[in-house]
């Protein structure tokens, strides 16, 4: 596994909460995030970074972890 940096469209609340809304994938494909089920401080075993891990549900009930660290978003890929 490796990591892939991605663009993410987010909502920033006045309370400082970041909620990812869309993941931007290849050829600027905008993939909606249906629901965020968990946000917790975690490290990616692949990247070795420590940041926030968002457990996201996408269309078709596909679950993927989205990581936010040092101002960048990334996902783990195979």
Per-residue pLDDT of the chain (78 residues; tens, 9 = 90+): 788 999 999 999 999 999 999 999 989 999 999 999 999 998 766 666 678 999 999 988 999 999 999 899 999 887
Please give the tally of structural domains in the chain: 1
Global pTM reads 0.87
Tokens 């596909």 belong to: 62
**3-state SS class at 38:** strand
Reported as type and span, the H/E element at residue 54 is: strand 50-58
**Residue ranges making up the domain that contains 33:** 2-77
């Amino acid at each position: 596994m490796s990591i892939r940096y991605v663009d993410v469209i987010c909502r920033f609340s006045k309370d400082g909460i970041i909620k990812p809304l869309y993941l931007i994938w290849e050829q600027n494909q905008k993939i909606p995030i249906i629901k965020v089920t968990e946000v917790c401080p975690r490290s990616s075993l692949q990247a070795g970074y420590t940041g926030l891990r968002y457990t996201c549900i996408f269309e078709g009930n596909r679950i993927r972890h989205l990581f936010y660290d040092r101002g960048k978003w990334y996902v783990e890929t195979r």
